[in-house]
Amino acid sequence: MAVQKRVVSIFLIQLVLLAVSGFNRVNGAGLRTGYYDESCPDAETIALKTIRKAISKDVTLAAALLRLHFHDCFVRGCEASVLLNATKEGGAEKDGFLNLSLRGFDVIDDVKSAIEKSCPGVVSCADILALAARDAVQLTGGLFWKVETGRRDGRISLSKEIDANLPFSNFNITQLKQNFASKGLTKKDLKRSFFILSLLGAHTIGSASCFTINTRLYNFTGRSDTDPALDPTFASELKKKCKPGGILPVFELDQGSSTISDAQFYKAVRQNRGLLISDAALLDDHATRAYVKRQSKSAAGATFGRDFGKSMEKMGRIGVLTGSEGEIRQRCAFVN
């Protein structure tokens, strides 16, 4: 936990856009809602019950579980490679620097253990990750969406693949678009606002460390300056707690509402009080700026839950293994 608190909180704001890219088999062939209706009819109920118990003890686990699903899908696709432990051949994804702050693995293990008692060898860890992300959002006030299931688990997890696949937090809007385009995202996709919303929606819960925003506060252009896009009053508030070169404390991504899945985040972004550089970048593009403005007019967000759910469904189809591909792990941290 100490290590987790000292490293950068990886930003979710970019990740859902990848759901509409050409990364591997994004169409999710083989997935469907109700996949376990006959083979394990209580699977989703068991998952929800276990996740509710965990979040009731620590509400911050909701953001952690949502983030786990994002990080899994972004590297190799949604096939639970992020859950695997390292082997003698080398480090796994969870050992990469950008993933050191991931947590919630024990919750996924608890869900897997509970489901295995009811339906051994049936439900994949990849599907459990997708269900956990949905349940985490629902349990923090977000809307419910149907999760397509039928994923199989991958057998490979390599820490060396992290840096090449996870986008960086200091990207401006041009760099973000270039990154998305390199993954197969089309100009049409970039202009569809509900994908943009879903990226923002990931920041409605969760936090980022002082280390994450230190450059923005104290050395934005390499001249000991503060990002001019950041509200001066907000910057002063942050500097009182986040000192030059500091690692801690941790700040809410959605100030005052970081444990509730709502649309308050948009108001902060519109007021130049978004915590991250990539938050501010969304005001530099006409399409994303217009969407932020529209959502910020309503506390609940005009279409927040619907759009976020649609984008989560799309992200859950990235690079899936189905049919006879991969395996159904007995334990999520180990291949069979």
Give the pLDDT of the chain (336 residues) as one tens digit per residue: 443 333 333 333 333 333 333 333 456 789 999 999 999 999 999 999 999 999 999 998 998 999 899 899 888 989 999 999 999 888 999 999 889 989 999 999 999 999 999 999 999 999 999 999 999 989 988 778 999 999 999 999 999 998 887 766 666 777 766 655 555 444 554 444 344 444 444 555 567 889 989 999 999 999 999 999 999 999 999 999 999 999 999 888 766 655 565 667 788 888 999 888 878 888 888 877 887 887 777 655 556 677 778 778 888 888 899 999 999 999 999 999
Q: Is 46 helix (H, G, I), strand (E, B) or coil?
A: helix
b/e map of 76-110 (b: 16 or more CB within 10 Å)?
A: bbbbbbbbbeeeeeebbbbbbebbebbbbbebbbe
Residue 203 marked in a binding site: yes
The per-residue DSSP string of 278-320 comes to HHHHTTSSHHHHHHHHHHHTSSS-SSHHHHHHHHHHHHTTTT-
Residue 262 marked in a binding site: yes
Residue recorded with tokens 């090449």: 164
Rounded Cα distance, 181 and 252, in Å: 30
Q: Is 47 helix (H, G, I), strand (E, B) or coil?
A: helix
Is 286 among the residues known to form the active site? no
Structure tokens at 41: 């009819």
Rounded Cα distance, 279 and 277, in Å: 5
| Gyration radius of the chain over CA positions | 19
Residue 72 marked in a binding site: yes
Residue 167 marked in a binding site: yes
Q: Which listed residue (71, 94, 317, 329) is catalytic?
A: 71
